[in-house]
Amino acid sequence: MSSVRVLAGTRKGAFILTSDGKREKWDVSGPHFGGWEIYHMKGSPADPNRIYASQCSGWFGQLIQRSNDGGKTWEPVGNKFTYDGVPGTHQWYDGTAHPWEFKRVWHLEPSLADPDTVYAGVEDAALFRSADGGQTWQEVAGLRGHGSGPRWQPGAGGMCLHTILLDPHDPARIFIAISAAGAFRTDDAGVTWKPINRGLKSQYIPDPEAEVGHCVHRIAMHRSKPNRLYMQKHWDVMRSDDSGDSWQEVSGNLPTDFGFVIDVHAHEPNTIYVVPIKSDSEHYPMEGKLRVYRSRTGGDEWEALSDGLPQSDCYVNVLRDAMAVDSMDSCGIYFGTTGGQIYASADSGDTWSAIVRDLPAVLSVEVQTLP
């Protein structure tokens, strides 16, 4: 029988939850790396026992940890992230030029085919790649070489490259997103990149339809339809049907279209999930009710999912990397909150329960479906 492994990164360590295919009883291991911030953990699709973790602290900087046994044991690997050439400047919060400085790794994306190849999205925004299991890292310099870098600026969380989507049908195609620069795509394995932000409208930048400068919070893709992308922007839920060349708003009847996460059902490319958050200055659900919204039509028409979720006095946030899906026959949906709960649904979102609660604030959630 298949089993499921949930990888949760939190403000004070990593936790790994495992269950059989029924997903009713969960074993919790952790904290791993107790006291350290774990921004993200992700397993290799080519070897699920190979897991990478981003471990960092304001005191001691960035480390990358690697496991070869599904998270039972770990070893630190390379943590030297050096920008290619002269790093240059981006915009600071006040619009002045600010030098590029490495701060941390937000997201790790292992190759679909090779367990030793892994991408890292970092703050200040850049994409790095390792082909030796994380021992050494090289910047994929074409991204910042696009030339728009001086116009990129940090969001409230920092200028982070937080989303990396590898096209399962075309190894040369990668999508990334940066807050607050926008989305970018390469079609030549990272040599050249172009911004893919046409159709985005952001009232908080001088030109609301600028080529770059948009605060994209998250992008999601279904592996059977990689030309269709879904985006949760600072405000607005967006969809592209042409690999990001153009976007249309699909917020539809959402009660608020601010939020951080967005994800796609494992078996239904038109079924998507968001967690609406009240506003950019009030990072909690509306009316104290935690609700996931599901669209079965690729956006525009949304239904609230609340069965099993707190419906009063709930003021947590769900951060951008803290939602994931499993690929069991009945698709499981998972998300973590800043209040330390991880909620799961084994029936595509119809009903929910907390599979763990009272962890440190959850920064990221990934799920592995194991044979």
Partner 1 sequence: MLPAHLRSLAKAGSEVMLEIDGPVTQRSVLDALEEQYPMLRGTIRDQVTGKRRAFVRFFACAEDLSHESPDSALPEPVATGAEPFLVIGAIAGG
Closest CA to 294 of 246, 352, 224, 340: 352
In whole angstroms, what is the distance from residue 253 CA to residue 304 CA? 10
In whole angstroms, what is the distance from residue 155 CA to residue 180 CA? 5
Q: Which of 35, 99, 171, 208 binds partner 1 (CB under 8 A)?
A: 35
Contact residues for 156 (Cβ-Cβ < 8 A; gap 6+): none
Closer residue to partner 1 in complex, CB, 79/227: 79
Closer residue to partner 1 in complex, CB, 137/335: 137
If binding is defined by CB under 8 A, does position 36 make contact with partner 1? yes
Peptide linkage before 87 cis (omega within 30 of 0)? no
Part in contact with partner 1 (CB under 8 A); list of ranges 72-80, 161-169, 218-226, 274-282 = 72-80
Least Å from the CB of residue 71 to partner 1: 17
Closest CA to 149 of 122, 124, 114: 124
In whole angstroms, what is the distance from residue 306 CA to residue 355 CA? 16
Least Å from the CB of residue 122 to partner 1: 14
If binding is defined by CB under 8 A, does position 206 make contact with partner 1? no
Closer residue to partner 1 in complex, CB, 65/179: 65
Least Å from the CB of residue 31 to partner 1: 12
Residue 163 host element (H or E)? strand 160-166
CA distances to 30, 34, 36, 66, 189 from 360, in Å: 11, 10, 11, 22, 37
Least Å from the CB of residue 348 to partner 1: 37
Least Å from the CB of residue 103 to partner 1: 12
Contact yes or no for 218/179 (Cβ under 8 A): no
Least Å from the CB of residue 359 to partner 1: 15
Residues in region 75-114 near partner 1 by CB under 8 A: 76, 79-80, 82
If binding is defined by CB under 8 A, does position 171 make contact with partner 1? no
Contact yes or no for 16/74 (Cβ under 8 A): no
Least Å from the CB of residue 26 to partner 1: 26
Residue located via tokens 């994380």: 134
For residue 172, the tally of other CB atoms under 10 A from its CB is: 11
In whole angstroms, what is the distance from residue 177 CA to residue 196 CA? 10
Closer residue to partner 1 in complex, CB, 79/256: 79
Closer residue to partner 1 in complex, CB, 2/57: 57
Closer residue to partner 1 in complex, CB, 76/88: 76
* Contact flags string 41-70 toward partner 1, x per CB under 8 A: ----------------xxxxxxx-------
* Residue count, binding to partner 1 (CB under 8 A): 13
Least Å from the CB of residue 32 to partner 1: 11
Residue numbers at the binding site for partner 1 (CB under 8 A): 35-36, 57-63, 76, 79-80, 82
